[in-house]
Amino acid sequence: MRILAIAAIAALTAVGACSSPTVAIAEDVSLPGEPLRKIVVETQEDYADAIKLVQPGDMIVLANGTWRDFDLVLEAEGTAEHPIYLVSEEPGGVILSGQSSLRMGGRHLVVSGLVFRDGYTPRNEVISFRRDSETLAFNSRVTRTVIENYNNPDRAQRDTWVVMYGQNNEFDHNHLSGKLNSGPTMTVRLNTEDSQNNNHRIHHNYFGPRPVFGSNGGETLRIGTSHYSLTTSGTLVENNYFDRCSGEVEIISNKSGENIYRGNTFNQSRGTLTLRHGNDTLVENNLFDGNNAPYTGGVRVINARQTVRNNMFRNLNGERFSGALVVMNGVPNSPINRYHQVDGAVIEQNSFDRVGTIELGEGSDTERSAVPINSAFRNNLVMGSGAETPFNLYDDMSGIAFEGNVTNLAPPEALASGFTVLNADEQAPSGVGAAGAFGVERSETGVSWYPKPSSDSPFGTGKTIEIEPGENKIAQAMATAEAGDEIVLAPGAYNEAKSINLQIPLTVRAAEVGTVDLSFERRNLFLLSSTGGLKLSGLNVTGGAAPDAVGNSFIASTARGGTGNHVVELSDMVFTDFVVNRGFSILTAAKGTFFDRVEVRNSSFKNISGVAFKFDAETDDYGIYNVEYLIVRDSEFENVRGSIASIYRGGRDESTFGPHAFISDSTFVSVGAGSEPLAVLHGVQNMSLEGNTLEQTEAAQLVITTGKPKVVLSNNTNAASDAIDALVTKDLRQ
């Protein structure tokens, strides 16, 4: 093998070997053949020269280091015997940052060992299996490559990290984690004949956490589109690990024919593998393990001849669209982008172990009236620890033949003949339920040299910083703090003269609850961007020193500095005197920003002139919203001129589980100045009001815009109203 520096290539004709430094190629990259020569490049200019001269069997080696703004194009023609390689000098040694991307065109290309981070793509893709619409990649492979947190700072800007075009391509052992902005993490496109019947293989990849996006467009993998859904894709998705992929209701959106999903693990991921469009899909030997987390589901079945067999579904908490198994009703003579009738589905030999629900005829309504036909549900094992069967029937299920199933929970009457019910001490007979191996171990996916994310809580993972009272002490401490640190305030008075831009999660707490007084002199004390988050505890905060300006808010989010998902926790806090202008808030979300969770506990709010918690910046009715969970409990609000919360989720699509609003065991006195509701919950999908007391306060208002919101009301009292409870509902559907 020859190892060449770029300068030597041009001189290479009939000359013999030339000397050059040795390159350590990733040991874990299994190559289909030995490269004939290696070409080391150290600059983008070198690369441009090298790619012109590249021949089958060549390996272009990117030197270790950070390559900024690299519009990397690998267009070349290798052969099956002698592919053309593009690799990093060492695995993980090459960082592509800034506005970098990779496009491939040609045949028999192999890319390995790159890391994309600290930036985002200026194009529609980070890695594209085509150079442009004319030049696609075939028989090519991307392996051992990492894309992490490579997000456009504008959440609404849509891109996709990996897009496969062409045919016979392979994407394996890659690590894709932390996508936040709009657009699926990865897609397979079928938009020309050259990309159909594609025989792609997607395997042993680690799909890391994808937090809730807060709108449609948060899928982790999509294969096809509704437009091409009746054509054959023929993609194999095997032995991948989907770890907390919770962007929206579809973890995977299958929208084409004859794909296979085999041996994948879905760990604690919200939503389902959705067979949204296209026919003849096979789903087998997968493990769906929800770890009892909310909205964790399994497979949602739509269309013709879908097979779901030998899968393990366990500890899944989801219901309705995120049930462990969901068989949808279709639309008669459905347009291509609506719901085709389930016809010929075979659901056999699966195990359902402690799952929330199995939904049959889900979506049944006047439009979705076509029930499943010619289908079978057989030899499945359905076990639970509770008393109730997980089956819910929303329509006539006589088009599904139930046979040979076993359960320990009495099934609904309509299905009873298809089940044997076990007694407590009985074992399930063999041949029923899933057998063999399911899913894949996390460690067998992705790469060994790049860490997989662990903890979910952003707080309390770092060191403690103790500070004394005085001017700007919190800002000073935050300037040196690292993500997860905790700042502890000694008793006394603290004043902050400037707004604090916070891009990491931090805890700020009083050494002793109630001994710290905090004031601030700007419109906002905390401005959150990037992954900024706050856990505040035990502080007495006044808004009295803030200026008489419009839109004051103690905490606000901003898209300047990059967007991430924020978490704010307030406990044992006292807020008073937020009245220097009309509309002073405690927390305000800016348009284009998103809070995973805002949780208020054991806190008091007195004399607030605006809406206390404001999540209503997304008024375009695109289905976008600003907060996933707002939780208020054991708290007191008195003399709040606006509502205590305003949440706005417009749009009619059914792609999100949220927003959620849970308000319990709290007291509200003179909230809304006699006219505004306790809370304005527009398009909220899941809400509860429990154990609250309202005085001189109007009931909360729920505006239903889409879906079937879950509403729990109990034990609220409202001295001012004869309303049954603390809620007034307005329905805008149809």
State the residues that interact with Ca ion by CB under 5 A: 216, 250, 655
For Ca ion, give the closer residue by CB, 169 or 216.
216
* 3-state helix/strand/coil string of 114-131: EEEEEECCCCCEEEECEC
H or E segment at 375?
A: strand 375-378
Query: Nearest Cα to 409, choosing from 386, 425, 393, 429?
Result: 386
Instruction: Give the other-Cβ count within 10 Å of 366's Cβ.
Output: 6
CA distance linking residue 205 with residue 444, whole number of Å = 9
- Could you tell me the smallest distance in angstroms from the CB atom of residue 321 to Ca ion? 11
- Could you tell me the smallest distance in angstroms from the CB atom of residue 433 to Ca ion? 31
For Ca ion, give the closer residue by CB, 170 or 250.
250
Cβ-Cβ contacts under 8 Å for 54 (sequence gap 6 or more):
39, 60, 76, 84
Instruction: Give the other-Cβ count within 10 Å of 158's Cβ.
Output: 13
- Could you tell me the smallest distance in angstroms from the CB atom of residue 225 to Ca ion? 11
- Could you tell me the smallest distance in angstroms from the CB atom of residue 617 to Ca ion? 22
Query: Nearest Cα to 102, choosing from 117, 80, 123?
Result: 123
- Could you tell me the smallest distance in angstroms from the CB atom of residue 125 to Ca ion? 18
C-beta nearest to Ca ion: residue: 250
For Ca ion, give the closer residue by CB, 225 or 688.
225
- Could you tell me the smallest distance in angstroms from the CB atom of residue 271 to Ca ion? 9
Tokens 């996390």 belong to which residue?
442
**DSSP assignment of 539-590:** EEEE-TTS-S-TT-EEEEE-STT---EEEEEEES-EEEEE-SSTT-EEEEPP
Tokens 């807020």 belong to which residue?
575
Q: Are strands 146-148 and 358-362 parallel, antiparallel or unpaired?
A: unpaired
For Ca ion, give the closer residue by CB, 216 or 341.
216
Cβ-Cβ contacts under 8 Å for 134 (sequence gap 6 or more):
none
CA distance linking residue 397 with residue 98, whole number of Å = 54
* Cβ atoms 358, 316 nearer than 8 A: no
CA distance linking residue 273 with residue 282, whole number of Å = 12
For Ca ion, give the closer residue by CB, 418 or 658.
658
For Ca ion, give the closer residue by CB, 593 or 655.
655
- The phi, psi pair for 500, rounded to 5°, reads -110, 120
For Ca ion, give the closer residue by CB, 135 or 157.
157
Identify any residues that bridge with 176 across adjacent strands, giving them in sequence order: 147, 207
- Could you tell me the smallest distance in angstroms from the CB atom of residue 227 to Ca ion? 15
- Could you tell me the smallest distance in angstroms from the CB atom of residue 207 to Ca ion? 16
* Cβ atoms 128, 153 nearer than 8 A: no
- Distances in whole angstroms, Cα of residue 262 to Cα of each of 10, 236, 239, 282, 437: 47, 8, 7, 8, 11
- Could you tell me the smallest distance in angstroms from the CB atom of residue 184 to Ca ion? 8
* Cβ atoms 401, 317 nearer than 8 A: no
- Could you tell me the smallest distance in angstroms from the CB atom of residue 278 to Ca ion? 15
For Ca ion, give the closer residue by CB, 646 or 655.
655
Cβ-Cβ contacts under 8 Å for 663 (sequence gap 6 or more):
630, 631, 632, 633, 644, 645, 679, 687, 688, 689, 690, 692, 700
For Ca ion, give the closer residue by CB, 216 or 306.
216
For Ca ion, give the closer residue by CB, 119 or 217.
217
- Could you tell me the smallest distance in angstroms from the CB atom of residue 237 to Ca ion? 17
Instruction: Give the other-Cβ count within 10 Å of 388's Cβ.
Output: 9
- Could you tell me the smallest distance in angstroms from the CB atom of residue 208 to Ca ion? 19
For Ca ion, give the closer residue by CB, 274 or 552.
274
CA distance linking residue 537 with residue 507, whole number of Å = 8
For Ca ion, give the closer residue by CB, 144 or 277.
277
Identify any residues that bridge with 667 across adjacent strands, giving them in sequence order: 636, 693
Cβ-Cβ contacts under 8 Å for 120 (sequence gap 6 or more):
99, 150, 151, 152, 153, 159, 181
**Quick one: tokens of 719?**
């001295």
For Ca ion, give the closer residue by CB, 242 or 554.
242
- Could you tell me the smallest distance in angstroms from the CB atom of residue 216 to Ca ion? 5
